Amino acid sequence: MTSTGAIEPVGNSQSTGTAFGILGAISLCHGLNDLMQSLLPAVYPMLKTAYHLDFGQVGMITFANTATASLLQPLVGIYTDRNPKPFSLALGMGFTLIGLVLLSRAPTYAAVLLAVALVGVGSSIFHPESSRVARLASGGRYGLAQSLFQVGGNAGSSTGPLLAAFIVAPFGQRSIAWFAAVAVVAIMILSRVGGWYRDHLVAEAARSAAPSAPPIASAQVKRALLILVALVFSKNVYLASLTSFYTFFLMQRFALSVESAQLHLFLLLGAVAVGTFVGGPVGDRIGRKYVIWVSILGVLPFTLLLPHANLLWTEILTVIIGLVLASAFSAIIVFAQELVPGRVGAVSGIFFGLAFGTAGLGAALLGRLADATSIELVFQICAFLPAIGLLTAFLPNVEPRAIR
């Protein structure tokens, strides 16, 4: 029986069904976490002026945040695989809370770097552990659980810049502290989730100890993981090219206004959010390898057409690309978890960290390429990235029968 309460009572989620209350709570907190993360780029112009920074120093702010947010995630996942910490989710959000308060009153540039690093630490703890909770609460519907979890993050990422525009921009740097209230709400919710997680550790350990897929050779597992890493690189760098430079592409190619270009970006991000949600349950039903095939390689014809399309077809193509390409990540995460049973935290940490890292690095490198050449050339080059999806053919068949 599937429960729909706010926070499920103690019980084995595998036997009682998908714990939608827990999934809803963890998805909401993912949104709150990523909302606070996405505030940082939105306040860069304010920080640049307030501390008299050059662009290199602004880049170091991004580095300080992404280094802790991405590089620490695998380490956190490896540690908590061996030593589960049910209340580490609330603790991690505490780091974010401290970072935001410090950022709102940072007396020096060094304090700004420390503040954004603390916010990154909070995210590095949140993602691997919350991904484990999502799997535990899935009732066997792993793709659905990952999709629900990730769509919350997408919603938060798109909301943060809007709130920064309406709150931080008019009221100044100190108003960043107001978002500490968001962190407090998340801590309260995550404390309850931590209690549920603590009571389910025995069931989680029992399921993790029993592989859900036929064992395959270690060398084959390593090769499959490297292929999945390449697919994440392909997906994230291409999406980084869209989210970072799509508005500039539209303004340059079609002479759109800033407002019109931003509306087009909103439609793209909406398609990405829908695709993120759809990919998981579809993978549960037809198999995650098929979803990866369609999501990565299947989008190639559309990405190749995009740089040469008129405005109407550009709008249509970007919605299709966002919808299809975003559906891959849930399938990739769950496929990797099936490859390495019992290492949910490490796998989640590696792939979420990789997602952060490749998107940030890709945006930086593509920005330099655009400065040296043109935005159109960047889109023409990136159009071939989904061809990496051909590597999907070399992934092993490790999945159990889909849940109908």
| DSSP states along 159-218 | HHHHHIIIIIHHH-GGGGGGGHHHHHHHHHHHHHHHHHHHHTHHHHHHHHHS-SS----H
Query: 327: Cβ–Cβ under 8 A, 6 or more apart, which residues?
Result: 275, 276, 278, 279, 282, 291, 294, 295
Tokens of 67: 């280094």
Exposed, middle or buried: residue 351 (CB in 10 Å: 0-12, 13-18, 19+)? buried
Residue type, 107: P
pLDDT digits 0-9 by tens, 151-175: 888 788 777 777 877 888 788 888 8
Q: What is the pLDDT of residue 203?
A: 56
**Structural domain spans, the chain:** 13-209, 218-394
pTM over 0.75: no
What is the DSSP annotation of 13-47? Answer: HHHH--BHHHHHHHHHHHHHHHHHHHHHHHTHHHH
Read off the pLDDT of residues 316-354 as tens digits, 9 standing for 90 and up: 999 999 999 988 888 888 888 888 887 888 888 888 778
CA distance 245 to 370: 9
The residue ranges of the chain whose pLDDT is under 70 are 1-16, 55, 202-215, 360, 399-404
Whole-number pLDDT of residue 26? 93
What CATH homologous superfamily does 218-394 map to?
A: MFS general substrate transporter like domains (1.20.1250.20)
Structure-derived torsion over alpha carbons of residues 167, 173, 178, 182, reported in degrees to the nearest 10: 90
CA-atom Rg of the chain in angstroms: 21
* 3-state SS class at 81: helix
Within 8 A by CB and 6+ apart from 403, the residues are 140, 141, 284, 285
Looking at domain 13-209, which CATH architecture does it have? Up-down Bundle (1.20)
